[in-house]
Structures are given as C-alpha cells and as structure tokens.
A and B are shown apart, each in its own frame.
Chain A
Amino acid sequence: MNKPIVTGIGVLAPTGLGTEQYWAATRNGAKGIGPVSRFETEQYPVVLAGEIDGFEAREHLASRLLPQTDHMTRLALVAADWALADAGAKAEELPEFSAGVVTASASGGFEFGHRELEALWSKGSEHVSAYQSFAWFYAVNTGQISIRHGLRGAGGVVVTEQAGGLDAFAMARRRLRDGAGLMLTGGVDSALCPWGWVAQIACGRLSTSADPERAYLPFDSAANGFVPGEGGAILVVEDPESAAARGVARDYGTFAGYSATFDPPPDSGRPSALRRAIENALDDAGCQPSDVDVVFADGAGVPELDLAEAEAISAVFGANGVPVTAPKTATGRLYSGGAALDLATALLALRDGLIPPTPNVSELAPGIDIDLVTGQPRRADLRTAVVLARGYGGYNSAVVLRAPDKP
C-alpha cells in the first residue's frame, strides 16, 4: 500500500491551545514553563512545570463527561475533536469498522487515581467512585475517543514512556496496512498532582532549578535535568487512497519510515541503540542521511543522555551535519504527549519551511557536535524530517516524515 498521510492535527500544549496558536508560539520561541499553579510545591524539591493555561473543559465537553474523566482525558478528547475537524472526517461517512484509535499513555489518569486513593484510604471503600474502574487506566483515552466519535475499527494503546507518541503512530500505520482507512493517533498526558509529582521526582531526572529559563537545557553545558509538562497532540493518519476517496485535497505530509530499538541493560557498558533506530527508520523510508533536512531531538536534558543522543545523530548525519532542534524546551517533557507533539511540530515545520528554535539553550556542552537551532527560527527548504524519542527504561524510536508532494 501507499505510505500513510497525516490529514489532521489537534494540539493542546503549554505554549498554545490549537494548532495555529501553538505553532505561532513555537515559531517565535515562546516559553510555557513556569511555577506549578495546580498544587502547593513548597515542600518539594521540584517547582516548575509546563502547565496548560486557559483550558476550561466545560467549554468543550458536555458536563456528563466531566465527573468520569481525568484532566488528561479531557485534553485528549478535545485534541481528538480538533484533529478530526481539521481532517474534515466523520466516522459515519466512512465504511463501517474502517476508522480506529491508537494512543500512547505513560501514566494514565494519575490525578483521578490520587483522589480515589485518598477517598479509599482516608474514608473507606464505599467512597471510591464507580468511574475509578476505568478513568485512571492507560486505555482510557483510546476508549473515550472511540466512543465520542463512533470509531469502531481497531483500538490500541502503547506504553513506552516518552517514546510512546512515535510507537502509537507506528501501530496506527500497521492498522492502516491491515486495511483500516483512517486512524486517530498520538498521546496526551498530565500528572500534575502531589502524588504524580512525587512519583515523577523519583526518577531522579527532574530539574530542581526554580528558574524557568535555566531548568530544562538539553545539550547545554548547564543541563541539569528536565521539567515535566502536560498536553500533547492527536493526529489523523490515513491511507492516501481512502483519503482521496473522501475528497481530501491537502495533507501535512507522509509517514515515510519508523523503527524502534531497545538499549542494552544499564550495567552493560554498551552504547545506546538510538543510532540503530535512526538508521533503520531511514532504511524503512528508503532515505539516505543526506536526504534529511532537520532532526527533532528527544532532548533528555540529562548530560550523559544528551551526549549519547548527540553522538547517535553525529554518527548517522556527520558532526554538525544536519540542523537539529528541540522546541520542547518551551513546554517541558510531556511523556506520551511529547513525541506526538514533536510529530505535529515537524509536520508544521515541513509545511512552512521553517525550523523552530530550541528556546533557552545557548551554549552547547563539550562533545555535543550538533547544529542545534537556537535563538531564532531558521528558514530552509524542508522536504524530510526525522523525529526522535526515547522512553525511560531503554526505549528508542525514530520516525521519518516527508513533506507533501508539491502540486
């Protein structure tokens, strides 16, 4: 079959609600990290997050849905609405069973779970909500999205921490190859409650800086961890023939290639398998490294992980061989939403021939030999983009995207 195309994008990010608002902010290097407002952080060593401001769930969702949904599900439902609207697609206009949903999740509806754990432990089991049976679990966004839009094709949920957005995208591609016409895919996460906060702090990679401009600096000599955020993106991917059959006239680009690899055990002393993921994804796309015009980096913000990523990029593309960017320094790391949002950003960059910058990063650490786009956006003729993502515990994924053929 032909390679799938992306026909719709829905974004909710700390730097903007909706694709165009987000893209305008990202192009200009706007920043979305700030002190946590959702709960009191005085007692915690980590105080910054990429929060989404100005999202009122009741403006978008019926009140019937609110008691049964975690914050991250509300964000995901709205992102899915916007993506489908952008693609001009309606399930009832597609063949039965031909449209499905695959989302990534990292930690489920953690804030909902926190409230119910508190109800159970402080008041007793009869105080636990009936909605707890699904509102917190990893599959909830796929289920709720499929119900909301009547999508009765294949469903799926992938959990690979921060790599999930790319792995879900690939599973959606697989379902298209199986015969589906349209898939909604992506990831949206949020765990901004005290319980989620303490769980995240336990990974030991969160920045303890209180300065929003100095807390998340991947590849920088001052890298000191990352800032967590919330949000993500949902995309519509379609088989091109199926899209053409329903009259789709424009798309954001083609899903050209993918690969996932897993790192050797942490105590093995062997290098990361990220390089192999990039090479395999290029093979899958039928691309040479020289065809690639921009790389969207994972940007862990942890010095040894940044070095490993820079080495993998340099090994494939040559030292300073390709422009690299990490716009996520403006939003923080969004877990399953992170790579999904990077896919959206990369597609918008291809559309507009503009590489958005990496805010806040200014001075590359020694040994980081990459051409990182910092400060101002860079204009370029972009045909092919690579998006990288790594998940805690050894997950590496790479996706190759190609701009639509010019008419």
Chain B
Amino acid sequence: MSEMTCTDLVAIIRECAGDSDTADLDGDILDVSFEELGYDSLAMLETAGQTQRRYGITLDDDVVVEAKTPREFLDLVNGKLVAAA
C-alpha cells in the first residue's frame, strides 16, 4: 500500500466523522490540531479504525492521544507502512 497523504486522511475523516465546522479541510491543515478542527476522541477513534482497515496496519491504542495534528497522524501511519513494506 502506498503512502497515506493528507488528501487520503481528509477523505477518511469526512466519511467517519463528517466535515469540519471550523476549517476547510481541503486547505492547509497539516499542523492544525484535530481539536481545533472540531474532532473529538470518538471521531479520531473512528478515523483510526478506518485507516487501519484500509491500509492493513495496526495502530496503537494511544494513537488518538499522540497524534494531535494531521501531520503527526500521517507520520505515525506512514511509519507503520514503511515498517510493513
């Protein structure tokens, strides 16, 4: 599976948790925290679950605590993808 991009992540977030009420997800949101974007832990659990299924990886339970921004989330996921390759 190829690298996960921010566009891929945004598509999953929209599907799992709906669009942001506060920001344009198609804009530059890499370093905007999920909290600021309006996504709570439940939304992130759902997003993490879908990411795991789609990319065939296993993320730690703490991913929703550790990954505070899209950049951090993508780093974690892509780290796993590299490790799995």
Contacts and interface: CB of A to CB of B under 8 A. Distances in A.
Do any CB atoms of chain A lie under 8 A from CB atoms of chain B in the complex?
yes
A131 B40 CA distance: 12
B49 interface: yes
28 contacts: A62-B19, A62-B21, A63-B19, A64-B17, A64-B18, A64-B19, A64-B21, A64-B38, A64-B43, A65-B18, A66-B18, A67-B15, A67-B16, A67-B17, A67-B18, A68-B17, A68-B42, A126-B49, A126-B52, A126-B53, A127-B53, A129-B49, A130-B42, A130-B45, A130-B46, A130-B49, A131-B42, A131-B46
B53 A67 contact: no
Interface in A194-226: none
Contacts of A67: 15-18, 46
A66 B14 CA distance: 10
A62 B21 CA distance: 8
Interface centre among B14, B15, B18, by most A CB within 10 Å? B18
A65 B40 CA distance: 12
A63 B20 CA distance: 8
A67 B46 CA distance: 10
A63 B53 contact: no
Contacts of A68: 17, 42
A129 B42 CA distance: 10
A368 B43 CA distance: 55
A129 B49 CA distance: 8
Contacts of B21: 62, 64
Question: Interface extent on A, as a size class?
Answer: 10 to 19
Contact of A63 (B18, B45, B46, B49): B18
B26 to A, nearest CB: 14
A214 B14 CA distance: 44
Interface in B12-44: 14-21, 38, 42-43
Contacts of A65: 18
Nearest to B41: A130
B17 A129 contact: no
A126 B19 CA distance: 23
Nearest to B42: A130
Interface string A43-85: 0000000000000000000111111100000000000000000
A127 B46 CA distance: 10
A129 B18 contact: no
Interface in B39-85: 42-43, 45-46, 49, 52-53
A67 B15 CA distance: 7
B37 to A, nearest CB: 10
A118 to B, nearest CB: 15
Contacts of B52: 126
B3 to A, nearest CB: 22
Interface string A94-138: 000000000000000000000000000000001101110000000
Contacts of B18: 62-67
A130 B16 CA distance: 10
B2 to A, nearest CB: 22
A19 B69 CA distance: 44
Contacts of A129: 46, 49
A63 B14 CA distance: 8
A120 to B, nearest CB: 13
Nearest to B14: A63
B66 to A, nearest CB: 17
B74 to A, nearest CB: 20
Given A64-B43, A65-B18, A129-B46, 7 more contacts: A62-B21, A64-B20, A64-B21, A126-B52, A129-B49, A130-B45, A130-B49
Contacts of B49: 126, 129-130
A67 B16 CA distance: 6
A-B pairs, 9 with minimum CB distance: A63-B18, A64-B18, A63-B19, A130-B45, A130-B46, A66-B18, A67-B18, A130-B42, A62-B21
Contacts of B43: 64
A97 to B, nearest CB: 24
Nearest to A61: B18
A84 to B, nearest CB: 20
Nearest to B48: A130
Contacts of A131: 42, 46
A156 to B, nearest CB: 24
A291 to B, nearest CB: 51
B48 to A, nearest CB: 9
Contacts of B38: 64
A67 B49 CA distance: 14
A130 to B, nearest CB: 4
Nearest to B19: A63
